[in-house]
Every structure is written in C-alpha cells, then in structure tokens.
Chain A
C-alpha cells in the first residue's frame, strides 16, 4: 500500500487523514500534540471538564466534530496516529521523527504537510522580558490549561486573534488592562469591506466580539516600549491614534500580528518559496489543490493563512490531489465545490491581511537598543552594524550576526530582520533573502538521538 505521511493534526491534517482513510489508505499522522486538534482547536489534557462551547465559542461544533472524527479514525485503525512526535528533518523519502521513545525513521511515498502557523511577531522594546508572551500563548494558556498569563494583561498587535483572545480572557474572568491594535481604523474599514463581502456572518461575529471589549480596545496605536523591571513588565507605553502618550500598567503582555506560516519542513522537502506582499512573509508555492512538486503536498496555514475553515478545505483538497496523482478515484464535483469555497476563504483572508497590516514602518524605525532576536539578545543596532559586513542578505546576516541562528531558528526574528535589511539597503523585504531551514527543525536531546527505537 502507498505510504502517505501527514504532518500535523489540526483542521487541515485531520481532513486530509479523513479523505485518505476514505480511499482505504491508512495514513500515518505525526503530530506534536498529545491529542489531535492543532492549535486553534487545541484540546486540554484528559481530565479537564470545560465543555467545547466554553473552549471554542462559536466554533465549538466544528472543533468537536473534528476531534470526534479523528479519534474515531484512530480508534478504528484507519489512521496511524503518532502523538507527541516531531518531524526533525527529512531527506530522500524518509523523515526522522522525535517521539516519546527517541528518534526513529518514518518513510513515505507521499507527504502532506499541514504544519500550521505560529504568531507573527514584531519586536517591541522590552519584549525580551519574562512575562511577555505571544498572543497564541495567551490563548493556549487559557484553553489548554485554564490559566491567565498574569493579573493585568495588555494584549497588543493586530489581527483576528487579538480581539478574540481578549474576549475569551475577559469571559473567563482574567484581568485585561488594554487591547492595543496597531491597525489604523481606516485600514480596518477598507479590509473589512472585503471580509464582509466574502463572509458576512464571520465578519459580523468579529465586530460583536470587538464590541464586548468596550473602552479597553484602541485602534491605530503605536507601541513605544514595554517598561520592565527584573521581574518582568510593569507598564506598556503607547501613543493613541491622535498621537497622545499613554501608559497602561500591567504585569503581562501578549503580542502578535496575525500569523506566520510554519514552513521549515516544506523547505527541507524542496518546496519553492515566494515573498508574499499580501502576507508580508515568505510562503511556499503550490497549485490550487496544494501540489508543491514531486510527492509533496501542502495544506492549511502552513501554505496560506486562511484560518481553520480554510484549512479544513485545503486539507481535503491536498489529500484528493494526492489520491488523483496515485490514480485513485476522486469526486470532481466535491473538488470543484471545495475550490470555490477555498477561493472565497482566500478573498476573506486577503481582506484580513489588508485590515490588520504588518507594522513594517514601525519595525524599520526601531531604536538601536531594541532586541530583535529574543533567543540571543541581538539588538537592532547589532543588526545594522553587521549589515556593513554581511551585505543585505538574510543568510549572510545570520552567519555573521546570528539573527536566525538561535533556538527558535528564526521563527520570531526573521521578518523583523528582513525589514531592517530592507531599510538599510533601500530594497524590498522580499529582496533581502529567505532564511534556509536547517534540520533538526526543533531541538532534540542527544539522549533521544543515541537511543534507537523500532523502525516506524
């Protein structure tokens, strides 16, 4: 039987698994989570009791359906679920997977990557302090653990997650001191028109969530700096849309500017990349169904940031493409229907990107003392000084200045680095080069590599 490997058990990975299982293939699904669901539909550990409605709000039915679907497929042996497992690297049709028992190989004939996304981060002076988190972290803490990251939290950045997390925290009884959106209201209205045309209900729901934040919410702000002491954040200094200086006392800050596709494995698997002006990041190339060349298929936010609904469709399409390429029957009608729906998701998502833009100008103007690389404390001044030696190219800047060399492997500094290169050289960020992914794409303990578990 053809060996299909799916990486990621979020909405895209689950729908891909369903589609392949439906054709009688039993895909292996490798996922870092203990339980399938991915990040947005992440489940708490066994023994937690909040119902889906409380965890996922308006999306509860979708989340519960995906969880039940995947658990059923795994129980029936129609998919081979490998939880708590990370693909560290791959070459020549074999992945190296770090699981609970160490590192072992899993070979594949076809590979579907549904690796999702992480928060897209822009540095803010002071963000290296303990107690500054990503917006996604604030949501994970609440959803998967029932905790808040502090007593007075400031949420800042932009994108759909900003207001969603704020509303979820407030509902759960957390202290939310302010919700600071760097997107100007004019941009939000322009992008919002696209969003409303493509998905009126979802857009209206977003506005209703926003309304619940009341006077905590501010649009068009400029984040000046996070004031810290050795213990962590004390206040966030910002300017409102009219340029007035404001300060909000807090003990935790959560930052995020929408999402950044997780593409390290796609890179190792040979995908080509292009700079997306819309998403202000590097994204892999694939056809409308997710074919990325050879035996590689991409789906979900790791390909295009379309959100969970778009990821479900993309997962199904990628698996259908895989089946068709194997000469197995697929429903052309379902495919056409999914492609039409995906186009609508894309129109909506482009509206989101326009409404909540990446703060390019702000990053370029960061003062020299601002930390750009949180892993190794490399500042904007260090980057600017290194550029005279390295020239305006991201991989050379990494070699000489270590931006992208640290433990997160550039996940949280690459885009800011690209802006600094672009500003110094007078080029577009897309001309500053893309950091090449390096295996292992996550750190692995030497002890795990020295053990030899059974062949996968």
Chain B
C-alpha cells in the first residue's frame, strides 16, 4: 500500500496531488484507503482492477469516458441505490459494492 491509498494491484496510478487527507472506505467489504477529493472511480481503481461485471458479456467494467456520458461505471452502495462512480466524490466510510448486497426477490411467472 503506497501513501495516499492505491496498491500494485490497482488499475490506476497516482501521478500527482498526493498531499491531500487520507480517507478510508469499503469496497466489497474490504477496507481501502484513498484521498479526499478522489472520485469513487479513482478511489476504487487505485486499489482494485475493476468496478463490476459487465451485464451482457464476460468482461469486467472499469469505466470508459469518465465524464458521465457512457454509464459504464455504476456501482452499488451497500444500502441499495447505485451511483455513477466517475462523477461521485468519495466520502469517508462509504460502503460500496461491485454487486447488489441483497438478492433481488425471485419472481415466478
């Protein structure tokens, strides 16, 4: 774990702006460290390789446009609603998930 969060396993690499206050959050129940001012996408991808699974293919998702246009980077919050990782600021203590935390109710037709 390097200063200001992030690790060798992360997809992103921090190049600058390392003087900010650290904060911790949770992704898939793992405690991760990032810096105040990081987006959710930055915070997660500095430590892990992807945000979630693709819905229509075998690949993973890690964002694409980073400007709110492609909708590739939605992640789950532990308490339910999803958020767009590239345009949401990371807050200390956030509990985020790559999958929904509760199973969807089974629907029988």
Contacts and interface: CB of A to CB of B under 8 A. Distances in A.
A377 B17 contact: no
B61 interface: yes
A442 B69 CA distance: 8
B94 interface: no
Interface stretch (B6-14, B25-33, B101-109): B6-14
A126 B72 CA distance: 16
Contact of A134 (B59, B60, B65, B87): B65
Secondary structure at the A interface, as helix, strand, loop or mixed, is loop
Nearest to A84: B87
Interface centre among B61, B64, B70 (most CB of A within 10 A): B64
B66 A47 contact: no
Interface in B30-65: 36-39, 42, 46, 49-51, 54-65
Interface centre among A137, A407, A447 (most CB of B within 10 A): A137
B68 interface: yes
A69 interface: no
Contact of B11 (A128, A150, A374): A150
Given A39-B67, A445-B82, A45 B37 contact: yes
A145 interface: yes
B1 to A, nearest CB: 16
Contact of B56 (A145, A151, A375): A375
A412 B86 CA distance: 17
A377 B54 contact: yes
Contacts of B87: 32, 84
B89 interface: yes
B68 to A, nearest CB: 6
Nearest to A137: B66
Given A47-B20, A137-B63, A371-B57, A252 B69 contact: no
Interface centre among B38, B58, B67, B82 (most CB of A within 10 A): B67
Nearest to A134: B65
Interface residues of A, number: 56
A142 B11 contact: no
A130 B57 CA distance: 11
A172 B15 contact: yes
Secondary structure at the B interface, as helix, strand, loop or mixed, is loop
Contact of B15 (A86, A131, A142, A262): A142
B67 A147 contact: no
B56 A130 contact: no
B69 to A, nearest CB: 5
Interface in A85-108: 86
Interface in A31-76: 32, 34, 39, 44-50
A113 interface: no
Contact of A133 (B42, B49, B50, B66): B66
B37 to A, nearest CB: 4
Interface string A143-168: 00111111100000000000000000
A140 B67 contact: yes
A8 to B, nearest CB: 12
Contacts of B55: 376
Nearest to B42: A145
A130 B62 contact: yes
Interface centre among B11, B36, B42, B46 (most CB of A within 10 A): B11
B11 A133 contact: no
Contacts of B68: 32, 86, 442
9 contacts: A48-B37, A134-B66, A150-B11, A150-B13, A174-B13, A232-B50, A374-B64, A375-B71, A445-B81
Q: Which 4 A-B pairs have the closest CB atoms?
A: A407-B71, A146-B17, A146-B16, A130-B62
Given A141-B66, A377-B57, 20 more contacts: A44-B17, A45-B37, A50-B17, A128-B54, A128-B57, A128-B59, A129-B59, A129-B60, A130-B59, A130-B60, A133-B64, A133-B66, A137-B63, A145-B39, A146-B15, A147-B46, A231-B49, A262-B69, A408-B69, A443-B71
Interface of A: 32, 34, 39, 44-50, 84, 86, 118-119, 128-134, 136-137, 140-142, 145-151, 172-174, 228, 230-232, 251-252, 262, 371, 374-377, 407-408, 411-412, 442-443, 445, 447
